[in-house]
Chains A and B, each alone.
Chain A
Amino acid sequence: KAGVTQTPRYLIKTRGQQVTLSCSPISGHRSVSWYQQTPGQGLQFLFEYFSETQRNKGNFPGRFSGRQFSNSRSEMNVSTLELGDSALYLCASTRGTTNTGELFFGEGSRLTVL
């Protein structure tokens, strides 16, 4: 069974640009969550999608957005990039919406903003 797939794995952007990251969840998983990981802030929750609807969101500015498609694949977009957006962006999937289900993480997309 294939795991969570994130693309691209690495990317470099400059300030002011925008970026789109993609996440394909495990087959059969309908919930996708996104996290930002930085050395200073640790793991910060961005948002969660289930059945194409955003169910939860973290404390990030509106420059961070996401969406989920009917096949459960998800994308997140960051507009007007800032140096502080440099981070590892992790996507995770789970089968449903239960509080008790563990998340399955992808390898992450490492974004560097110059």
Chain B
Amino acid sequence: AQSVAQPEDQVNVAEGNPLTVKCTYSVSGNPYLFWYVQYPNRGLQFLLKYITGDNLVKGSYGFEAEFNKSQTSFHLKKPSALVSDSALYFCAVRALSGGYNKLIFGAGTRLAVHP
């Protein structure tokens, strides 16, 4: 079955420290991977995507993600966290499921950055 797993419900980081939000996936064929962020009572905002090429992908607001095919992971990272990064983060994969092509989301990880 095609799926995305975000093993941590919440990640706590001190401002200025590096942050990592984990994501693993299970999909047949080449994975097309995405990260989105959601602020309270708002829609999802696109951060970055991996389609092909360089395994390190750079995105919006200083975020980057590393695609690791052998570990089937696509972890989101940022070298120095800001309090304003506190939000809900979703990993997603484009996959064929039940004959349909759709974007499958993980359960989300709440990032809390403390001053």
Contact = CB atoms under 8 A, between A and B. Distances in A.
Interface of A: 4, 6, 33, 35, 42-43, 45, 48, 55-59, 90, 92, 99-100, 102-108, 110
Interface string B51-65: 100000000000000
Interface centre among A4, A43, A55, A59 (most CB of B within 10 A): A43
Contacts of A59: 98
Chain B binding site: helix, strand, loop or mixed by DSSP?
strand
B43 A43 contact: no
Chain A binding site: helix, strand, loop or mixed by DSSP?
strand
B103 interface: yes
Interface residues of B, number: 23
Contacts of B104: 45
B45 A105 contact: yes
Nearest to A10: B41
B77 interface: no
A43 B102 contact: no
Interface string B19-37: 0000000000000101010
Given A56-B101, A57-B100, A102-B34, A4 B51 contact: no
A45 B43 contact: no
A11 B60 CA distance: 32
B43 A4 contact: yes
Interface in B35-50: 36, 41-46, 49
A58 B102 CA distance: 8
B103 A33 contact: yes
A99 B105 contact: no
B101 A99 contact: yes
Interface string B85-98: 00000100010001
A42 B105 contact: yes
A99 B36 CA distance: 16
5 contacts: A4-B43, A45-B104, A92-B43, A100-B51, A110-B41
Contacts of B108: 42-43
B43 A102 contact: no
Contacts of A107: 41-43
Contacts of B49: 100, 102
